[in-house]
Structure 1
Amino acid sequence: MRIHHIAIWTFRLEEMKEFYTCYFNGSSNEKYINPQKGLESYFLHFDEGTDLELMSRTDIQNTPIEENRLGLTHFAFAFDSQKAVLRQTERLRTAGYTIAGEPRTSGDGYFESVVLDPDGNRIECVFRA
């Protein structure tokens, strides 16, 4: 068994698609539009098999994301080396994204950094030797 996909509601559908395709090598389907429900979405596929569904709907509330709340707190992308994590972190910083956690080795042995996507979702860039 594996995780098939994770879904995120967003008001920044195009910006979020660009973030995950440009910086995390996701490939996108054509935009799905359901005018009756006011729904637009993309499915982004990543080489390792898990997909990310980005969804926007006109009646979804714009509730800010809080760091310490119940529910999904972050998800992580695995990199091939510590150097790759550092490179990705600097690439995202240079592009103007918020680095919420500077590169470090965590207590459980991961070398990681944390970036906020355009909606403020916490994304970890991780390497484990």
Structure 2
Amino acid sequence: MTRPDMDDLEKPLARTGFVHLAFSVGSPEAVDRLTAQLAADGYRVASGPRTTGDGYYESCIVALEGNQIEITV
């Protein structure tokens, strides 16, 4: 949606509301490959690939409107 009177304000990664989507890609190798491809395509890698404190292997990419796309096993 666009209107002349709308502001597109900076969106910090840590905020209330909808902030990320997660996709399972099946293996750590697939997480690595997709993260590398998205980085090569110009997307910012916010974290990872890494094993989180609770044992998940994942990375997070910053996508449209500052939302994070979590890529996980």
Of residues 2, 6, 14, the one that matches 1:68 is 14
For the 8 Å contact 2:21–2:69, the answer to whether it is kept is yes
Please show how residues 1-129 of structure 1 align to structure 2 within 5 Å: 56-58=1-3, 60-127=6-73
Structure exhibiting the larger radius of gyration computed from Cα positions: 1
Greater than 6 Å deviation, 4+ residue runs: none
For the 8 Å contact 2:44–2:61, the answer to whether it is kept is yes
TM score, norm. by length of structure 2: 0.84
TM score, norm. by length of structure 1: 0.51
Aligned CA RMSD, in angstroms, stands at 1.5
Count of residues in correspondence between the two structures: 72
Stretches of structure 2 lacking an aligned partner (at least 5 in a row):
none
